[in-house]
Each structure stands twice: as structure tokens, then as C-alpha cells.
Chain A
Amino acid sequence: MNHLSEEQLILHYYGEEEDAGAAEQHLGECEECRALYGSLQRVLNVVDSLPVPECGAEYGEQVWKRIEHRLPARRGAFWVWAWPARWRWAAAGAAFAAFLVAAFVAGRFYPHPRQPAQLAVADTQAGERILLVAVGDYLERSQMVLIELANASPKGLLDISAEQERAVDLVSENRLYRQTAAHTGDAVVASVLDELERVLLDITHAPSRLSPGELEKLRQRLEAEGILFKIRVLGSNVRNQEGQKL
């Protein structure tokens, strides 16, 4: 008969094992495992008995009184900043799309006595230039986050919560640019942005404090995928195109 491992006993204690019936049956039949489980229960019951100061029903109200005057105002001159980041970027994307449509419609239907095609092209080019500037800026900020992580050399755990917060914002932005690139048929940009998004998502989902081993794994992944190199090349191309559009 296979005995239950310590991990299985712990899971059983917390009711998280996959097959509760089997564990229960084994404990009923195996004295050795039962003794081990009893010992585990006693230890955890002692820990469980640690008391916590009781808060009254009015505790929440007390907390509110202490923090109320310290809350910064959320509704500023630009109420749109109270929106979630995803909404803000969706709104920005919609505004940009509207701009492109308006540029197209203006170029197509506005009664220009002279050189109508040339003006429409100029408007579209202005839109593309805005996108290029935004993507260039975005790639630089993403690169900064990745470089900070790649070059960190902590002695113990590395707190990456600040980088994670930046990565969350970058993921929201990424989707907008990637979709725009896909719509305009720029497969290279869309592909690099797609890879970058996956790396950023992994960073946001990682523990907020990385052990040296976990940090090394992240570094190896960045190197293996060559994501930093791809971002640099794409950033350089974007800057060149941006210069040509000026």
C-alpha cells in the first residue's frame, strides 16, 4: 500500500486534494498515515489558536475617517482619466480611427479645385506619422522596462512591482497598436508587438518579488526570443520612417 505523502496530507487537511474519498479511506486503514495526520492536525490547531484583536462593527467607519481627508481628488479637469486604462486606450483608438476616416472622407469628397489627391495623401500621411511617433515612444518605454529587468543584479529577492505596473499599462497600449498594425497590413510590426505583449503579460503575472533563479529564467527567455533586439530594430525602422514622413 502506498502511504500518503506529507503534501497529500496537507491538501487533505485543507480539503483541496483531488480524491478526498481515497485519502479518507487510506487514513481509515493505515495507522502510520493516521498518526502522521494526527500530528499535523495538532500542530496546525495550535497555530490556528493564535487570536486576533477583535474589531468592532464601527471599525470600517473609523478607517474611513482616518483616510477620508488623505484621498486625492479623482475627478480632475480631464474626467476621462478616471476611466480604466483599457477604456482610455479604446477611446484613444476610436479617436485615431475617426481621424483616419475623416482624413479619408475629406480627401475623397471635399471639393478641392486643385490637386485633391495630393491633399488626401497629406492627411493620411499625417495620421501615419502620428501613429509612428506613438509606436516609437511605446517601443522605447517597453524597452526600458525590459532592460531594467535584464540588467538588475539583486543580492536577494528583486521587487518588480513597479515594473509590473508599467507592464500592465504597456499591455493595454500594445493591443491598440497591434490591432492598428494588423488593419494597415503591417505584418512585421504586428508580429513584434504580439511577441512583446506575451512577454509583458508574463511579467505582469510573475510574482512581485523575483528570486535570483526566477530572474535568471526571465533573462534567458528575453535572450532566447531576442525580443530586445527585435524591439531595437523595429524602433530604429519606425524612427527612420517617421523622419521620411516629416
Chain B
Amino acid sequence: MELTDSAFVTKARLGDADAFRALVERHSRPLFRLAFRMTGNQQDAEDVVQESFLRAWRQLGRFDERASFGTWLYRIATNCSLDVMRSRKRRSRQDAGPEGAAAEVEDPVLSLPSGDPTPERAALSGEVRGQVAEAMNELSASERTAFVLRHFEGMRIDDISRVLGCQPGAAKHSVFRAVQKLRRALEPLTSGAR
């Protein structure tokens, strides 16, 4: 029978690296998806995944075993992603003037490795892809986080509030604001697609 996260966490706390390895292998892929959607960049997402597990290892003693390990790990990864986004913004401001910085806005879709064309990929070509990425970049950190967790990860508002460490009402409003902003930005592109 496969052990639960909780059983692995208990062992890892006592220094069992193999137990922690099991947690890493179990959670790496969903964590990468989250980090990629948060940062919009593959290299940054991989850095976030590694840093999240290193932080989790260091902070295992503080983890409340009554809570979900996955939710706790998501919270760490969310904070790591936000750190990456902040430092990228700082670098971008330092490396280029205002015009250069604007031109360097990351496009998560354009940074993807090329793969087989799918209907979605084909539909999201050119201007649409750029505008979706731009609209995502316009969201505040909390809006983007709440939206990514709700929309892409299918997490319920209550769980999002636990990841963000806020009240469910605040998490709900972050989702609302994100969707409203995306809608304002992208509706002109989709209005002809009826």
C-alpha cells in the first residue's frame, strides 16, 4: 500500500531523506505547472520547484501535521514564484530604461518549447497569444496567484485562502478582480468568435 504524505512527512522530519525524496517525486510535476503559470517562464519555474523543496526541507519542523502537505507546499511555491517575479521586475528595471523594460515583458506562451501543433496552440497564435500573456502580466501578484490556483489548478476558494494565508472572502475577491481584468482586456479579441 502506498504511504500517505503525512507518513512520509513524519519520517522526513526525523532526517529520512528517502521519505523526502518520495514527497519530491510525488509533488514535482504539479508544482512545476503551478510555478510555470505563476512565472510564465520554464527556467524560472524549474528554479522555483527546486527552491520550494529546499525551503520545505528546512521548514519541516514548522509544518503542522494536521494540515495538508500539498497545500503547505503550494504556499511555499507561491511565495517562491512571487520572489522570482519581483526580482525579475527589479532586474528588468535596472537593465533597461522604461522603453526597453516595456519591450521585455515576458510572454509565457512565446517562451514555450515548440511542440506538436494542437487546435488550442493554433488558435492562440500571434496577437491573441501576446495579449493573453500581457493581460496575465497586468494582474497583481495576489490576483494572479488566486486566479492561477482557481482557474488552472481547480483549487476551491477555501483552499486558495489557506495557500494565500487570507480570509476566503479576500481570496474570492482576488479571483473576481483577476477575471474582470482579463475579461476587459481580452473580450474584444473573443467577441468575433461566436
Contacts and interface: CB of A to CB of B under 8 A. Distances in A.
Interface string B100-131: 00000000110011010010110110001000
Contact of B15 (A39, A82, A165): A82
A42 B179 contact: no
B157 A16 contact: yes
A42 B190 contact: yes
Interface string B53-96: 11001111111110000000000000100100000000000000
A50 B194 contact: no
Contacts of B54: 67, 70-71
A164 B182 contact: no
B6 to A, nearest CB: 12
B62 A85 contact: yes
B61 A49 contact: no
A231 B130 CA distance: 54
B124 A46 contact: yes
Given A44-B151, A52-B33, A60-B24, A39 B61 contact: no
Interface string A57-96: 0011101101110111111000101111110000000000
Interface residues of B, number: 72
B28 A49 contact: no
A48 B118 CA distance: 14
Contacts of B60: 74
Contacts of A205: 165-166
A43 B20 contact: no
A60 B109 contact: no
Interface string A153-170: 000010001001100110
A14 interface: yes
Contact of A64 (B25, B142, B166): B25
Contacts, number: 157
B187 interface: yes
B15 A73 contact: yes
A6 interface: yes
Interface in B27-41: 27-29, 32-33, 36-37
Contacts of B128: 46
A68 B28 contact: no
A53 B15 contact: no
B57 A209 contact: no
A206 interface: yes
B63 A84 contact: yes
Main SS at interface, chain B: helix
A28 interface: no
Contacts of A71: 17, 20, 54, 57
Contacts of A84: 13, 61-65
A50 B179 contact: no
A207 interface: yes
A47 interface: yes
Nearest to A57: B29
A38 interface: yes
Interface of A: 6-7, 10, 14, 16, 38-40, 42-44, 46-55, 59-61, 63-64, 66-68, 70-75, 79, 81-86, 157, 161, 164-165, 168-169, 204-209
17 contacts: A10-B176, A16-B157, A43-B182, A44-B179, A46-B124, A50-B124, A55-B32, A63-B50, A64-B24, A64-B28, A71-B57, A72-B57, A75-B15, A79-B14, A85-B61, A165-B59, A207-B142
| Those 8 A-B pairs whose CB atoms lie nearest each other, nearest first | A60-B25, A75-B15, A49-B120, A60-B28, A74-B15, A42-B190, A207-B166, A63-B28
Given A46-B123, A60-B28, 16 more contacts: A14-B151, A14-B175, A38-B194, A46-B128, A46-B132, A46-B190, A50-B136, A60-B27, A68-B17, A72-B58, A74-B13, A84-B13, A84-B63, A164-B165, A205-B165, A206-B166
